[in-house]
Amino acid sequence: MPYVYLRGVRYISKMAASLPSWSEKMLQLLHRMNNFYARGSSQDRCWRFEVEGQQVGLIQPKIASLLNTFPDVFTSHGGAISLNPSFDSHAKRSEAMDQVLQVLRKDESLTCLKGWRNEEYSVMPRFCDSPLMSMERSATSLFGVKRYGVHLNGYSRDDSGRLFMWLGRRSPTKQTYPGRLDNLAAGGLAANCGVKQTMVKECEEEACIPSCIAEKASPAGTVSYTYEDDEGVFPECQFVFDLQLPLDFKPKIGDGEVQDFYFYPIEKVKELLVSEEFKPNCAMVVLDFLIRHSIIQPDSEPYYHEFMAGLHRTI
């Protein structure tokens, strides 16, 4: 930290004094990940996306204008854009959506579709509802469809009870946040896949954790947030699992989505959360872990309430 000296008295420079604290940096991260709720967002101008009379997403005005060029597929009315009711089955709706998306892929301005994954996500009003259709993962932000994922906190304790956590570093070839720090295992919830099934699969594929170990992970709630950028609206919900591992356990690189693993004391993990190294939503998952394991407590953290609110915002 830079200092200036005056007549033998040490003063913290104005520059150093103005640097945000760890708590302020974390609060800024939560604000970014929930910027859809902030003043000046497109929230009040978005169109509801409806299927079978039920809202399943939110569409930014610039995307809504593109969809008007497909009158046989979409209709506009009362602030909503609806899928034509003539598509009266899951299969028909999914096929109609795919045909539209195949045309939109040619639009260079829709950068999200450049990351086409050939992975289908279910579309439904609530997680407990039956899917009304499926759509390409990379296109979900265009329609503001809620995306679900699964994240695993892998941790250990030494003989003195000191807490350590495993982190992964994403491959430099990943489509999103290449090279950033990540949870031990994580992945999106694809259509027709269960939550725990996805968690076990990602553990095996990314970190070579045998299913007999992964299945011991405990569900620990969810982390929810909504942000927007040039690629659309991102309402997301992550199902969180905790897995306590033996001290001598070491994950191994599996499918190549992770380039390395690190085993850090929880104090170092906490400091890394607010650095540019961490994938933002993964930092939120670890923040949730720190709160649940009493590393962060309400009497010592001034933004404790704001942290809790920022981890659990949903549309």
Number of domains the chain contains: 2
The residue out of 112, 143, 174 marking a domain boundary is 143
**What distances in angstroms separate CA 51 from CA 86, 90, 92, 186, one per listed residue?**
11, 10, 12, 29
DSSP assignment letter at 116: -
* Residues 211 and 261 grouped into a single domain: yes
Q: Which long-range contacts (CB under 8 A, 24 or more apart) does 97-104 make?
A: 97/73, 97/133, 97/135, 98/135, 98/136, 99/73, 100/67, 100/70, 100/73, 101/135, 101/136, 101/139, 103/70, 104/66, 104/139, 104/142
Share of the chain above pLDDT 90, in %: 91
- For 132, the token pair is 């009304």
Q: What is the pLDDT of residues 87-119, one digit of tens each?
A: 999 999 999 999 999 999 999 999 999 999 999
- Pair 310, 226: CB distance under 8 Å: no
Among 102, 121, 143, the domain-final residue is 143
Residue where a domain terminates, one of 143, 167, 183: 143
pLDDT band (50, 70, 90) for residue 17: low
Q: What is the pLDDT of residues 198-247, one digit of tens each?
A: 999 999 999 999 999 999 999 999 999 999 999 999 999 999 999 999 99
The CATH number given to whatever domain includes residue 159 is 3.90.79.10
Helix (H, G, I), strand (E, B) or coil at 169: strand
- Report the SS3 class of residue 173: coil
pLDDT digits (tens, 9 = 90+) for 254-303: 988 899 999 999 999 999 999 999 999 999 999 999 999 999 999 999 99
Decide: 155 and 164 in contact? Cβ < 8 Å. Answer: yes
**Which of 132, 122, 141 is CA-nearest to residue 57?**
141
Query: Pick from 217, 220, 223, 189: which is nearest to 203 by CA?
Result: 217
DSSP letter at 312 equals: B
Q: How far apart are the first and last CA of the chain?
A: 42
221 is in which domain, residue-wise?
22-39+147-310
